[in-house]
Amino acid sequence: MRLSAAEIAALAEARDGAPHDRLGLHPAGEGCVVRALLRDASACAAVDRATGAVHPMARVHPCGLFEAALPAAAPFAHRLRVTDGSGKVSEVEDPYRFLPTLGDQDLHFLAQGDDHRIHEKLGGNVRVVDGVRGVAFAVWAPHARRVSVVGDLNGWDGRYHPMRLLGASGIWELFVPGLGPGARYKYEIVGPASPTPFLKTDPCAVAFEPSPHHAAIVADLGAHRWEDAGWMDARARRDPLRAPMSVYEVHLGSWRRVPEEGDRPLTYRELGPALADHCRAHGFTHVELLPPAEHPFDGSWGYQVTGYYAPTRRFGEAADFMAMVDTLHQAGVGVIVDLVPAHFPKDAFALARFDGTALYEHADPRQGEHPDWGTLVFNFGRHEVRNFLVGAALSWLDRFHVDGFRVDAVASMLYLDYSRKDGEWVPNPAGGRENLDAIAFLRQLNALVHHVAPGAVTIAEESTAFPGVTRPVAEGGLGFDLKWNMGWMHDWLAYFRQDPIHRRWHHDKLTFGMLYQWSERFVQALSHDEVVHGKGSLLGKMAGADLAAKSANLRCLLALQWAWPGKKTLFMGCEFGQPAEWSHERSLDWHLLAVPEHAGLLRLVGDLNRLMTGHPELAAADFDPAAFAWVQPDDAEQGVLAFRRRAGIAHWLVVANLTPVARAYRLGVPEAGRWEEVLNTDAAAYAGAGQGNLGGVATHAVPAHGQAQSLDLHLPGLSVLILRPSA
Find, among 163, 182, 64, 89, the residue nearest to 122 by Cα. Answer: 163
Residue 337 in 3-state DSSP?
Answer: strand
- Residue 624's contacts (CB-CB under 8 Å, 6 or more residues apart) are 647
Q: At how many degrees (to 10) do helices 229-237 and 318-330 cross?
A: 70
pLDDT above 90 (res 542)? yes
Q: What average pLDDT does range 469-481 have in this prediction?
A: 97
List, in order of start, the domains of the chain with CATH numbers.
5-94 (2.60.40.10), 104-219 (2.60.40.10), 289-484 (3.20.20.80), 624-725 (2.60.40.1180)
CA dist., res. 557 & res. 503, Å (int): 14
Known catalytic residue at 461: yes
Handedness of CA 503, 508, 513, 518 (dihedral sign): positive
Q: What average pLDDT does range 207-216 have in this prediction?
A: 92
CB atoms within 10 A of CB 679: 23
* Residue pair 523/557 in contact by the 8 Å Cβ criterion: no
Q: What average pLDDT does range 692-696 have in this prediction?
A: 95
Amino acid at the residue 193: A
Q: What average pLDDT does range 539-550 have in this prediction?
A: 97
Question: Sorting pLDDT into bands at 50, 70 and 90, what band is 727?
Answer: confident
CA dist., res. 78 & res. 482, Å (int): 57
C-alpha pair distances (Å), 235 with each of 336, 404, 456: 13, 11, 7
**Conformational region of residue 687, where left means phi above 0, alpha means psi within -120 to 50, and beta covers everything else:** left
Handedness of CA 414, 420, 425, 429 (dihedral sign): positive
pLDDT above 90 (res 17)? no
Looking at residue 484, what is its pLDDT?
A: 97
pLDDT above 90 (res 212)? no
Q: What average pLDDT does range 382-393 have in this prediction?
A: 96
Supply the mean pLDDT for the chain.
95
DSSP strands (E only) in 20-156:
24-28, 31-37, 41-48, 54-61, 65-70, 78-84, 89-93, 123-129, 132-140, 146-151
Question: Sorting pLDDT into bands at 50, 70 and 90, what band is 12?
Answer: confident
The residue count of the chain comes to 727
Of the CA atoms within 13 Å of residue 511, those in its CB half-sphere come to 20
Share of the chain above pLDDT 90, in %: 88
* Residue 582 DSSP symbol: P
Residue 518 belongs to what H/E stretch? Answer: none
Looking at residue 73, what is its pLDDT?
A: 58
Q: What is the pLDDT of residues 120-142, one digit of tens each?
A: 999 999 999 999 999 999 999 99
* Residue pair 478/443 in contact by the 8 Å Cβ criterion: yes
Find, among 454, 439, 443, 441, the residue nearest to 404 by Cα. Answer: 454
User: Which one has a higher pLDDT value, 30 or 9?
Assistant: 9
Looking at residue 632, what is its pLDDT?
A: 97
Q: What is the pLDDT of residues 480-531, one digit of tens each?
A: 999 999 999 999 999 999 999 999 999 999 999 999 999 999 999 999 999 9
Question: Sorting pLDDT into bands at 50, 70 and 90, what band is 74?
Answer: low
Active-site annotation holder among 115, 173, 361, 408:
408
pLDDT above 70 (res 611)? yes
According to DSSP H, which parts of 569-595 are helical? none
Question: Sorting pLDDT into bands at 50, 70 and 90, what band is 215?
Answer: very high
Amino acid at the residue 299: G
Looking at residue 495, what is its pLDDT?
A: 98
Query: If 0-12 CB within 10 Å is exposed, 13-18 middle and 19+ buried, where does residue 411 land?
Result: middle
Looking at residue 103, what is its pLDDT?
A: 93
Q: What average pLDDT does range 419-438 have in this prediction?
A: 94
Active-site annotation holder among 16, 317, 461, 462:
461
Q: How far is C-alpha 675 from the geometric centre of its chain's CA atoms? A: 44
Q: At how many degrees (to 10) do helices 318-330 and 383-400 cross?
A: 60
Q: Cα Rg for the chain, rounded, in angstroms?
A: 31
Q: What average pLDDT does range 624-635 have in this prediction?
A: 97
pLDDT above 90 (res 86)? no
SS (H, E, C) 197-212: CEEECCCCCCCECCCC
C-alpha pair distances (Å), 516 with each of 179, 465, 526, 625: 57, 10, 19, 11
The pairing of strands 457-460 and 719-725 is unpaired
- Is it true that the peptide bond before 244 is cis, omega within 30 degrees of 0? no
Q: What is the pLDDT of residues 312-342, one digit of tens each?
A: 999 999 999 999 999 999 999 999 999 999 9
Question: Sorting pLDDT into bands at 50, 70 and 90, what band is 1?
Answer: low
DSSP states of 478-517: ---SEEE-HHHHHHHHHHHHS-GGGGGGGTHHHHGGGGTT
Looking at residue 76, what is its pLDDT?
A: 79
CA dihedral 126, 128, 129, 134 (to 10 degrees): 50
Looking at residue 437, what is its pLDDT?
A: 97
Query: If 0-12 CB within 10 Å is exposed, 13-18 middle and 19+ buried, where does residue 629 land?
Result: middle
Q: What is the pLDDT of residues 232-283, one digit of tens each?
A: 999 999 999 999 999 999 999 999 999 999 999 999 999 999 999 999 999 9
Known catalytic residue at 408: yes
